[in-house]
Structure 1
Amino acid sequence: MNPNLINKLTCLAIGMSMIACNSTPTMEKLTYPETKKVDTTDVYFGTEVPDPYRWLEDDMSEETRNWVVEQNKVTDSFLGKIPFKNAIEDRLTKIWNYAKMGTPSHKSGLLVYAKNDGLQNQSIYYYKKGADGEEKILIDPNKLSEDGTVSLGSLSVSEDGKYLGYTVSRGGSDWREIYVKEIETGKMLDDHIKWVKFSGISWFNDGFFYTRFDEPKKGDELKGENKNPKVYYHKLGDQIKKDKVVFEDPEHPERITTCGVTDDNNYLVLHQTESTSGNAIYIKDLSEKSAKILKVVDDFESDNNIIDHSNGVFLMSTNYKAPKERIVKFTVDKINKDEWIDVIPEQKDVLSGISVVGEKMITTYMTDAHDIVKVFDLQGKYLYDVELPAIGSVGGFGGKKGDMETYFSFNSFVYPSAIYKYNIAENKTELFWEPDIDIDFDQYETKQVFFRSKDGTKVPMFIVHKKGLELDGTNPTMLYGYGGFNISLTPSFSVSRMVLLENGGVYAMVNLRGGGEYGKDWHQAGTKLQKQNVFDDCIAAAEYLIDNKYTSNDRLSLMGGSNGGLLVGAVTNQRPDLFKVSIPVVGVMDMLRYHKFTIGRFWATDYGTSEDNKEMFDYLYSYSPLHNVKEGVAYPAVMVMTADHDDRVVPAHSFKYIAALQDKYAGNNPVVIRIESKAGHGAGKPTSKKIEEAADLYSFIFYNMGVKPLYEF
């Protein structure tokens, strides 16, 4: 039966339907800004590859800025004509306006936590001296800028509880600036450090360790390659030029080193990496000024993280000879891999987190992409599980060995993040704080299904919708995926997603290969010359949703961000017939040049590069979203989303991709780009921008599907 006829027939039964709807609207082809082409061609292993939009890589040029303005005019005009967009934004504003709280943690005698009263652009951090102490403001990021686009990156309290070190990001950039203030008085110190990236603040004695890059060349701040980082020690009150270099590696300028200090303040731990997976580890005895830096792991074949040091014994998590990770111990005189001793051997589930608190090891494991928590003693003996309220995700469990209680957060698709206090010695959990949202979550259900991908691999997917939803193929559905960098997608709450669910929609989150849901093997099965597995998994997920009547190709949207934006671009090119709407967000779209910007080279362990060899070039060229847009293909409605301050996946990826799509697509579906100003890859985005973005997103999806949400407007 014709899908449009099904839509019309469904609308006749509106009294029983969860949504109001009509047939898919007839679109008039938009007029897009003219994007000039330049005569630029690269040659890879004898293959000539034109790159006519190379000029868009210069995001600081006046020409590119003018192009951005014109593209946003088209997008804003299209979105502005959607009759229910304001109603969606009003609904989002209403349901977003509830109090939120971050997981408390003990820091140098203080209990520190974040709170947001509902619509504040940035959460405010508070502290108490003890659980029953007076609540005071530690830092209010809303005062850092009028529009909320200056955000807090990280914060760290000095060992004596006197000072707060914190980093800020401007406009969403990955660049950070370090500031220091007296906690009690609020007085700002003169210590101010710029050009910090991917670094914490690790206090030691009367200063701290951190990682800094050299100041970039003017114009390259947001696109230039980040190389030659150094680990410094800064003594409070000193001029920055006096900071001492603790570690540098001039022979390997592309590697990045981060650092931390063990809880007992005895060792500096250095993590060095050249990619997004696999790291070397070095340690330095801080009790001896002349102590040499010792190598624990000097290759990049495994992921390793030192979690504790006590009386000369180190505890470390590793996936060396353990794809799902294990906990080992070693001493300085028995530091080699073959001398490590298992404390908690590899389990059937994936170890995804561990804290040493209250003389216990609190571990988080993933089982079929959701969390369970197990407690062990320090010798590795299993003691008991921590009870959780449902299937979902946990975070927190911070603290030190002497702490007798800790806090953790729990959330799931229809379970907003709540905070629990955990008595470690007695294994007792009590609700500490929960949000009050005017939504009836009991009317929704979550299920997990398993389907077979193209090569027969079993892949899990979570599906969320209203109870009693009729599986008639007409439900507006969002399929969300990522599939890369060993990152796991576990159940989580999104208030904006409720706009989809309460209008009879379906949310499907698929756990693709390339992620970390089943350990190192699952990750590697979606990398380099096996990357097509990720796209095949996603295509099979879409087919499952259609075959099982959750939706149809006229009511299915595909969304993903960053590496997930690459997923959306590649899958949309390969199977445009499956989707009505595609939303690639801050995506990696130019697979031949991604490694030439900022930290893009770090992704090569997942992707390979076009310069590796002919086989790798051919493979990347075969799926690169930018290079596989075809003439005259009936692509779905596409809204590319990016930001002008994204210096992780530079916006040139999105600029060049949408230029190619607008040039080659002959149909009437809108293919537009939404370019956010004073925003980056996503972190630190103010609430006001989040609401605007979500309103545009769901308006675009609903409108192109012919779905009218049940809000008054």
Structure 2
Amino acid sequence: MTNTQTKSVTPQAASKPTELTTHGHTRIDNYYWLNDRENPEVIDYLQAENEHLEEVLAPVKAFREKLFEEMKGRIKQQDESVPYKEGHYYYYTKFVEGGEYPVYCRKAGSLEAEEEIMLDVNEMAKPHSYYDIGGLEVSDNDELVAFGEDTVSRRMYTLRIKNLKTGEIYPDAIPDTEGGSYAWAADNQTLFYIRKDPQTLLGYQVYRHTLGTDPAQDVLLYEELDNQFYIGLGRMKSKKYIALVSDHNGVATEYRLLEAANPTGEFVVFLPREKGHEYDIQHLETTFYVRTNWKADNFRLMEVKENKTNDRSAWKEVIPHRHHVYLQQLDVFKNHLVLGERKEGLIHLRVINRTNKEEHYLDFGEAAYVAGIGYNPDFNTDILRFGYSSLTTPSSTFDYNMETKEKTLMKQQEVLGGFDPNNYTSERFFVKSRDGAKIPVSVVYRKGTPKDGSAPLLQYSYGSYGYSTDPGFSSTRLSLLDRGFLFAIAHIRGGQEMGRKWYDNGKMLKKKNTFNDFVDVSEYLIQQKYTSADKLFAMGGSAGGLLMGAVVNQKPQLYRGVVASVPFVDVVTTMLDESIPLTTGEFEEWGNPKIKKYYDYMLSYSPYDNVKEQAYPNMLVMTGLHDSQVQYWEPAKWVAKLRTMKTDTNQLLLHTNMEAGHGGASGRFEALKEIALEYAFILNLVGIRE
């Protein structure tokens, strides 16, 4: 493979057959060799694909730039977050004119005080083509901040410590940590962190570091021996405990607690892990509130005294289990409990007075929206901070008085360029899938857009890991809506929009429900004349990219074009290889193919394994060379195989960001270039080039 392509010549990776045998069944993988990023032939191929993309999309190069500038122009370049008070300081984040990265700031005692810059990420990022900060943790005396920095995009953070009084960044530099999982002890000298395995990229060890000492002498406190579990670490809201959690979604949870005032003590198990039992905890005074699925599929709320946590007979029910309501969030205040409850796909915020038990729900006044409990570090307040957005309402931060029920808008995302929410409208309805399940669908479009089948529509979904795709606002999406597109979110099974069973019915041996739901929604949108098959587009990323791969194998004729971003498409091979990062933790999502029934089921839908001789829609596939979640070779192999098998002349384009990983480019503006590429690809196919 050469990285110089003549016009009209499409790249083709060399076919080098590799036999892969499992359970007596042999698959031939002609592109297995692409999994070596150190191989110059692999790099040449990826670069050739990038050049081919630029050649094919050359007629819309100026349009891509216009879209980028248009989306960038909607962003208020000089902006600040709403400050929150923690301890003696008000903390906030700001962006400066032209700045790609945030500046982390604080003010002592009052918002009128002098600004202190904690970290100017624009300056810190200058020597690097990729840069990301992972988590900021300030010590109890407000003098030190711990943070992680990733300069590769593999989510392997180097832990650094900065003295906020002197500005000095200490020489203590600890590589391969879990960004954001740092916790200070109450002595302002001891810091706890999670070390990641450089091969699997899983956090698996918890260490104690003493300021000013050699990190090689750090003390190992805990090692997670089951590599199906993810671990996290943090200081609890009460500040009394440092919490270490081992969690495997859909399998089990186990918390360990250490009193922050006793940093050389041992982590004590809150309740041992038990298959099928998931829980999370909040601490207040001498009581723990426990959100648990013990005898409660959709979770219930219980409470228990500090010294009785291991005895479930001492747990007392506060909020019972409900079959139609999924208990998703919890926050605790001195006088109130706040619950985030998901019902019929939407979050409802419920406020309960802890003294008189009176309760009420917040009213949001829109049919489709997303709401969530914000960051509330102070127990001793009646003010709840929460976030709100909808398909037509920009992201908003509110302060809500839980006693007077007064709601104060603290900030709404400012969308420049003449945006008027009254120009747009949204709908929410349910579509019956082939097995009778009712799939929620959220749609947004500019008023006046015809619904007679003539308008183009972009349908988006994710549908895995219990992650709910809520109908929130996107300023970049306006570039589609203002050009006549409708945008639809299909809230398919595999997410958790309709409760825990919605997730359970879209995973493991029921995974095909996810794909079928998406296709059934597509067919409904065409039948109801929201669009037509020659103007329907589909988009999904990561596990949503797997979704894209599955639906184009199943019903390619339904779609004019598909965008698959960092797609997980080589399911069987990846899940068989436990050396690949994050594989083992996925067994409870997809199944373990070393067990034959899971192997057979995965093989029946794995997009790469099911590519066949048929016409495929126009396709744009996006990946990053350093992706830690979905390795670049999955989309690369998929595209290579599609090139040899497909019977159409439609566009098939692969874009590899040679400097980025799973999240794409770093920086608030650089990331827009990839969105501009996706939109230009879609718009060009329906003849819109300006």
Pair in the same fold by TM > 0.5: yes
Specify the alignment match of 1:430 in structure 2.
408
Over 3 Å counting, the alpha-carbon distance change for 1:198 and 1:536 in structure 2 is farther
SS at match of 1:159: coil
Is the 2:230–2:585 contact (alpha carbons within 8 Å) kept by the matching residues of 1?
no
Q: How does 1:478-493 map to 2 (within 5 A)?
A: 478-493=458-473
In the other structure, the counterpart of 1:106 is: 85
Aligned partners of 1:30 and 1:670 also within 8 Å: no
Given that 2:339 and 2:349 are in contact with CA atoms closer than 8 Å, whether structure 1 keeps it comes out as yes
Equivalence for 1:298? 273
Distance 1:302 1:512, change over 3 A: farther
Q: Does 1:155 align with 2:131?
A: no
- Secondary structure of the 2:173 match is strand
| Residues 136 and 226 of structure 1: CA distance in aligned 2, closer, same or farther (over 3 Å) | closer
Specify the alignment match of 1:668 in structure 2.
Answer: 649
The 2-side partners of 1:258 and 1:87 are apart by 42
| TM superposition shift of 1:425 | 4.4
Residue 300 of structure 2 corresponds to which residue in structure 1?
326
Distance change in 2, residues 1:625/1:379 (3 Å): farther
Whether the 8 Å contact between 2:445 and 2:481 is mirrored in structure 1 is yes
Which residue number corresponds to residue 66 of structure 1? 44
After superposition, residues 677-696 of structure 1 pair within 5 angstroms as 677-682=658-663, 685-696=666-677
Partner amino acid, structure 2, of 1:671 = L
**Structure 1 position 581 matched with structure 2 position 557:** no
The SS at the match of 1:449 is strand
Matched with 2:201 is 226
Paired position in structure 2 for 1:6: none
- Is 1:570 the equivalent of 2:553? no
2:385 pairs, out of 388, 407, 417, with: 407
Q: Hey, what's the Cα distance between the residues in 1 that align with 2:399 and 2:80?
A: 13
Q: CA deviation at 1:183?
A: 2.2
| 1:693 to 1:266, Cα distance in 2 relative to 1, 3 A | same
Matched residues in 2 for 1:505 and 1:675: separation?
Answer: 27
CA drift at 1:190: 2.1
User: CA shift at 1:483, angstroms?
Assistant: 0.8
Q: Does 1:346 align with 2:321?
A: yes
Once the two structures are superposed, the pairs formed by residues 31-110 of structure 1 within 5 Å of their partners are 31-82=9-60, 84-97=63-76, 99-102=78-81, 104-110=83-89
Report the 3-state secondary structure (helix = DSSP H, G, I; strand = E; otherwise coil) of the residue aligned with 1:503.
coil
On the 8 A contact 1:53/1:656 being kept in 2, the answer is yes
Shift of 1:175: 1.1
Residue equivalent to 1:363 = 339
Q: Which residue of 2 aligns with 1:16?
A: none
Q: CA deviation at 1:130?
A: 3.6
Percent identity reads 25
Higher RCO (C-alpha under 8 Å, 6+ residues apart): 1
**Alignment check: 8 A CA contact 1:103 1:409 kept:** no
Is the Cα–Cα contact under 8 Å of residues 480 and 510 in structure 1 kept in the other structure?
Answer: yes
Q: Work out the CA distance in 2 between the residues paired with 1:164 and 1:684.
A: 26
Residue 336 of structure 1 corresponds to which residue in structure 2? 311
Partner SS for 1:493? coil
- Counterpart contact for 2:207–2:220, Cα < 8 Å: yes
User: In 2 relative to 1, CA 328–136 (structure 1 residues): closer, same or farther, beyond 3 Å?
Assistant: same
Q: Deviations over 1:666-705 (max 9, x none)?
A: 311111111113222117731232221111111101112x
| Residue-by-residue CA offset, 1:191-221 (whole Å, 9 max, x unaligned) | 221101365111112222111035x3xxxxx
Deviations 1:142-165 (A, max 9, x none): 112236620222111112211111
Partner deviation per Cα, 1:539-559 (whole Å, 9 max, x = no partner) = 011011101111111111110
Identify unmatched segments of 5+ residues in structure 1: 1-27, 217-223
SS in 1 for 2:472: coil
Shift of 1:494: 1.4
Is 2:195–2:204's contact at 8 Å kept on the other side of the alignment? yes
* AA of the residue aligned to 1:124: V
Deviation at 1:655, TM superposition (A): 1.1
How far apart, in 2, do the equivalents of 1:555 and 1:644 lie? 31
1:415 partner amino acid: T
Structure 1 residue aligned with 2:623, among 627, 637, 642?
Answer: 642
2:233 aligned with 1:259: yes
Deviation digits for residues 67-93 of structure 1 (CA, Å, limit 9, x no counterpart): 111111101222222263333233223
Contact 2:254 2:269 in 1 (8 A): no
TM-score, with normalisation over the residues of structure 1? 0.89
3-state SS in 2 of match to 1:625:
coil
Q: Please name the residue that 2:149 is paired with.
A: 168
Match of 1:3 in 2: none
Determine helix, strand or coil for the equivalent of 1:314. strand
Distance in 2 between residues matched to 1:81 and 1:413, nearest whole Å: 32
CA distance in 1, matches of 2:395, 2:78: 11
Q: Which residue of 2 aligns with 1:220?
A: none
Which residues in structure 2 correspond to 1:270-281 (within 5 Å)? 270-274=244-248, 278-281=252-255
Displacement of 1:131 in angstroms is 4.6
Structure 1 residues 138 and 410 mapped into 2: Cα distance closer, same or farther (>3 Å)?
farther
More divergent stretch after superposition (298-307 vs 103-112): 103-112
Superposed counterparts of 1:167-246, under 5 Å: 167-197=148-178, 199-204=180-185, 205=187, 206-214=189-197, 216=198, 224-226=199-201, 229-246=204-221
Would the aligned equivalents of 1:149 and 1:684 in 2 still touch at CA under 8 Å?
Answer: yes
TM-aligned CA distance change 1:471 to 1:277, over 3 Å: farther
Cα deviation code 1:3-50 (max 9, x no counterpart):
xxxxxxxxxxxxxxxxxxxxxxxxx99532221122311112121111
Conserved? CA contact 2:34–2:636, under 8 Å: yes
Q: How many Å separate the matches in 2 of 1:508 and 1:380?
A: 43
Question: Is the 1:39–1:50 contact (alpha carbons within 8 Å) kept by the matching residues of 2?
Answer: yes
1:249 and 1:397 map into 2 onto residues whose CA distance is: 29
Do the aligned residues in 1 keep the contact of 2:178 with 2:193 (CA within 8 Å)?
Answer: no
Deviation at 1:290, TM superposition (A): 5.6
Report the counterpart of residue 611 of structure 1 in structure 2.
Answer: 594
SS in 1 for 2:682: helix
Q: CA contact under 8 A between 2:466 and 2:496: conserved in structure 1?
A: yes
1:407 deviates by: 2.9
**How many residue pairs were aligned?**
670
* Counterpart-to-counterpart distance in 1, 2:309 and 2:76: 55
Q: CA deviation at 1:387?
A: 4.4
In 1, the alpha carbon distance for the partners of 2:533 and 2:590 equals: 29
1:624 aligns with 2:603: no
Q: Whole-Å Cα distance in 1 between the matches of residues 11 and 267 of structure 2?
A: 60
One-letter amino acid of the counterpart of residue 357, structure 2: K
Displacement after TM superposition at 1:263 (Å): 3.5
Go from structure 1 to structure 2 and tell me whether the alpha carbon gap of 1:415 and 1:171 turns closer, same or farther (over 3 Å shift): farther
- In 2, are the aligned partners of 1:479 and 1:557 still within 8 Å (CA)? yes
Alpha-carbon distance, 1:270 to partner: 2.1
- Please state how far the C-alpha of 1:481 moved relative to its aligned partner: 0.4
Residue 122 of structure 1 contacts residue 148 of structure 1 at CA under 8 Å; is this kept in 2? no
Q: Which residue of 1 aligns with 2:3?
A: none
Q: Secondary structure at the match of 2:397?
A: strand
Q: Quick check: 1:412–1:491 contact (8 Å CA) kept in 2?
A: yes
Do the aligned partners of 2:156 and 2:201 also contact (CA within 8 Å) in 1? Answer: no
Output the amino acid matched with 2:281. I
CA distance in 1, matches of 2:393, 2:152: 31
Q: Which amino acid aligns with 1:601?
A: T
RMSD of equivalent CA atoms: 2.4
2: CA distance between counterparts of 1:533 and 1:404? 44
1:516 equivalent in structure 2 = 496
Q: What is the CA distance between 1:600 and its match in structure 2? A: 2.2
Distance 1:119 1:488, change over 3 A: farther
Q: Evaluate the alpha carbon distance shift between residue 104 and residue 361 of structure 1 in structure 2; reply closer, same or farther with a 3 A threshold.
A: farther
Tell me if 1:115 matches 2:98: no
Secondary structure (helix, strand or coil) at the match of 1:154 reads strand
Alignment-mate amino acid for residue 206 of structure 2: V
Answer whether contact 1:554 1:579 (CA < 8 A) is retained. Answer: yes
Once the two structures are superposed, residues 521-556 of structure 1 have per-residue CA deviations (whole angstroms, 9 ceiling, x without a partner) of 110000111011001100011011101111111111
In structure 2, the CA distance between the partners of 1:90 and 1:43, relative to structure 1 (3 Å rule), is same
Q: Secondary structure at the match of 1:73?
A: helix
